[in-house]
A and B are shown apart, each in its own frame.
Chain A
Amino acid sequence: QSALTQPASVSGSPGQSITISCTGTSSDVGAYNYVSWYQQHPGKVPKLMIFDVSKRPSGVSNRFSGSKSGNTASLTISGLQAEDEADYYCFSYTTSSTWVFGGGTKLTVL
C-alpha cells in the first residue's frame, strides 16, 4: 500500500486559516469515513486532533476541523496560532483491513 499524499509543507500567518489535504484512493480514504489526523511537535508523541473524518476529541480546540470529499480528506485550522506550528499526519483505514498514514505536512506559522 502506498502512503497517502499530503503537501510537504504549508504556511500561514497568525489568525489566518489553512487547509492540509490528504489524498488517497477509493481503496482507503474514499472507501470509509475512517480518517484521522495527528499533530506532532518536534520530539513529542503524536496527538489525535480529528477522527472519523470530522469528529473532534474532547480537549481539542474547535479551531481544528476535518472534512472529506471523494478520495481526499482535509484538515482545516482556523485562527492560526504560533502553537499550531507542527507536523500533521492523516491516517486512513483501507479495504484490505490495514491502515496507512500520509507522508506528513510541516505547518509553519509565519
Chain B
Amino acid sequence: QLQLQESGPGLVKPSETLSLTCTVAGDSITSSSYNWGWIRQPPGKGLEWIGNFYYSGSTYYNPSLKSRVTISVDTSNNQFSLKLNSVTAADTAVYYCARRGVGTSSVDYWGQGTLVTVSS
C-alpha cells in the first residue's frame, strides 16, 4: 500500500524558509511510471499546484512561485523535499505531497497534508 507522509515545522517566521519533506513508502520515487510533487491549499481556499519532479531529474514549478521554490530529491531515503524561501502570511497553507502518473493527469495518491503557518 503506497503511503506518502509530509513532515516539517508547523510554524515558520516571515521572511524565513519553509522546508518540508515527503517520505514515500510502497513505491520508488525513481520509478519511470510516476512523477512526484507538491500542492498546497490556504485555509478556506482552493488548491494550488506548486511543482513536481520527473525521474529524469527535471523539475517544473508554478510560475508564480518559481523564484522562491526548490524541489529536491533524496533517493537513498526515498524522500523528496520542498523549500520555499522569503515566506509571508500568504504562504500559510496545508501542504500536500502527491504522486501523478507519467503521461496522465491522474494525481492518484496524496499525503495527509501538513499545515504550515507563517507568523512571527
Interface residues in chain A, defined as those with a beta carbon under 8 Å from any beta carbon in chain B: 1, 3, 34-36, 38, 40, 45-46, 48, 51-52, 55, 57, 87, 89, 91-93, 96-104
Contact yes or no, B61 A98, CB < 8 A: yes
Which are the 4 A-B pairs with shortest beta-carbon distances? A51-B106, A36-B105, A34-B105, A104-B46
Chain A residues with Cβ below 8 Å from B32 are: none
Main secondary structure of the interface of A (DSSP, over half): strand
Contact yes or no, A101 B48, CB < 8 A: yes
Contact yes or no, A104 B47, CB < 8 A: yes
Interface residues in chain B, defined as those with a beta carbon under 8 Å from any beta carbon in chain A: 39, 46-49, 52, 60-64, 96, 101, 104-108, 110-113
- How far apart sit A45 and B112, CA to CA, in the bound complex (Å)? 6
Pick the residue among B46, B104, B113 that contacts A89 (CB under 8 A): B46
Question: Are A36 and B106 CB-contacts (below 8 A) given A1-B62, A98-B61, A98-B62?
Answer: yes
Pick the residue among B62, B63, B108, B111 that contacts A48 (CB under 8 A): B108
- What would 8 more interface pairs be, CB under 8 Å, given A46-B110, A48-B108, A98-B61? A1-B62, A36-B105, A38-B47, A46-B107, A87-B46, A89-B47, A91-B49, A99-B49
- How far apart sit A98 and B58, CA to CA, in the bound complex (Å)? 12
- How far apart sit A103 and B39, CA to CA, in the bound complex (Å)? 14
Chain B residues with Cβ below 8 Å from A104 are: 46-47
In the complex formed, the residue of A with least CB distance to B47 is A101
Contact yes or no, B105 A93, CB < 8 A: yes
Chain A residues with Cβ below 8 Å from B111 are: 45
Chain B residues with Cβ below 8 Å from A46 are: 47, 96, 107, 110
In the complex formed, the residue of A with least CB distance to B49 is A99
Question: Are A3 and B62 CB-contacts (below 8 A) given A38-B107, A51-B105, A52-B104?
Answer: no
- How far apart sit A85 and B47, CA to CA, in the bound complex (Å)? 18
